[in-house]
């Protein structure tokens, strides 16, 4: 098989993810999930670079950081990691309640969750922009709580919507799938385009977030995330009116 023949289906699948067929089982959800993946990159860039060695979306990292802190490694805070884990868990609980209450329509699940998440991000941006320096203790924990809650809501919502390979926060299984299902491994190479887009979306968010912190202002990644979330929320409001087959629960 030539390189062109190998690349063509990957590009075709990537295009179908960004510009999905309205009749597809997941309808317009894939591009919205990609946008939320960019949000994850933005917010984790902010939390790690501005709030210290803590994530508000990547809970695996916080468990590892908690271990480092207990071992006495410099630069890691057990309290910050535990606060992020607790806030994320509370947000996931809220997201789960939203999903169960609106489960008859996937578009309405997304609309309600994005409304909550956008409000939490706007509050976090206000704290980061107008309150004491973000890396001071009180402000740091306010931001961890607000952003952890928001990302917990997002993760629970992505789980409820169950769009394949677009979890918006976790890439380990996505990258594993790219390799283990590839033709080189003896697989069919299915969904490589979508999985690659997911990884690129996270990378793009992290790159933009880090660039904004270093060359703009510490709060800028949160502002960019708010803009993306507002766009997704508006799209979700439109999609919540649809009775197309994709809107029905899986």
Mean local confidence (pLDDT), 161-184: 84
Provide the 10 A C-beta neighbour count for residue 243.
8
Alpha-helical runs (H) found in 131-215: 137-161, 172-180, 192-215
Instruction: Name, of 20-24, 39-43, 164-168, 195-199, the range with top average pLDDT.
Output: 39-43
Express as a percent the part of the chain with pLDDT over 70: 94
Q: Please state the pTM of the whole predicted model.
A: 0.93
54 close to 80: Cβ distance less than 8 angstroms: yes
- Pick from 237, 58, 48: nearest CA to 154: 58
Provide the 10 A C-beta neighbour count for residue 183.
12
More confident residue, 179 or 70: 70
Mean local confidence (pLDDT), 76-92: 97
219 close to 129: Cβ distance less than 8 angstroms: yes
Contacts of 3 (CB under 8 A, 6+ apart): none
More confident residue, 91 or 171: 91
DSSP helix/strand/coil, 219: coil
What's the pLDDT at 230? 97
Average pLDDT across the chain, whole number: 91
Q: Which band of pLDDT confidence, cut at 50, 70 and 90, is reported for residue 199?
A: very high
Mean local confidence (pLDDT), 50-63: 95
What's the pLDDT at 174? 82
Nearest 5°: the CA angle 167, 124, 31 is 30
What's the pLDDT at 1? 52
Q: Which band of pLDDT confidence, cut at 50, 70 and 90, is reported for residue 190?
A: low
pLDDT digits over 105-161, tens only? 999 999 999 999 999 999 999 999 988 777 678 899 999 999 999 999 999 999 999
| pLDDT of 93 over the 80 cut | yes
| pLDDT of 7 over the 90 cut | no
Rg of the chain over CA atoms, in angstroms? Answer: 19
Contacts of 161 (CB under 8 A, 6+ apart): 26, 29, 33, 106, 109, 110
Q: Determine the Cα–Cα distance for residues 209 and 211; give it in Å rounded to an integer.
A: 5
């Amino acid at each position: 098989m030539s390189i062109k023949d190998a690349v063509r289906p990957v590009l075709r699948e990537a295009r179908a993810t960004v510009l999905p067929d309205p009749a597809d089982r997941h309808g317009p959800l894939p591009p919205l999930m990609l946008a939320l993946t960019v949000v994850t990159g933005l917010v984790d860039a902010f939390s790690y670079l501005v709030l210290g060695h803590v994530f508000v979306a990547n809970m695996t990292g916080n468990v590892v950081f908690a271990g480092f802190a207990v071992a006495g490694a410099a630069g890691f805070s057990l309290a910050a990691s535990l606060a992020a884990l607790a806030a994320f868990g509370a947000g996931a609980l809220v997201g789960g309640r939203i999903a169960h209450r609106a489960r008859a329509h996937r578009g309405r699940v997304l609309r309600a969750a994005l409304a909550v998440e956008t409000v939490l991000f706007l509050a976090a941006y206000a704290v980061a922009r107008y309150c004491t320096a973000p890396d001071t203790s009180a402000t740091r924990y306010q931001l961890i709580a607000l952003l952890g809650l928001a990302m917990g809501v997002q993760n629970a919502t992505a789980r409820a919507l169950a769009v394949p390979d677009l979890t918006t926060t976790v890439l380990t299984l996505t990258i594993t799938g790219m390799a283990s299902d590839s033709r080189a491994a003896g697989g069919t190479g299915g969904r490589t385009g979508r999985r690659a887009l997911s990884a690129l979306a996270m990378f793009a968010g992290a790159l933009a977030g880090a660039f904004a912190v270093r060359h703009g202002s510490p709060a800028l990644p949160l502002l960019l995330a708010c803009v993306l979330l507002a766009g997704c929320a508006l799209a979700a409001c439109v999609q919540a009116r649809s009775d197309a087959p994709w809107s029905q629960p899986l």
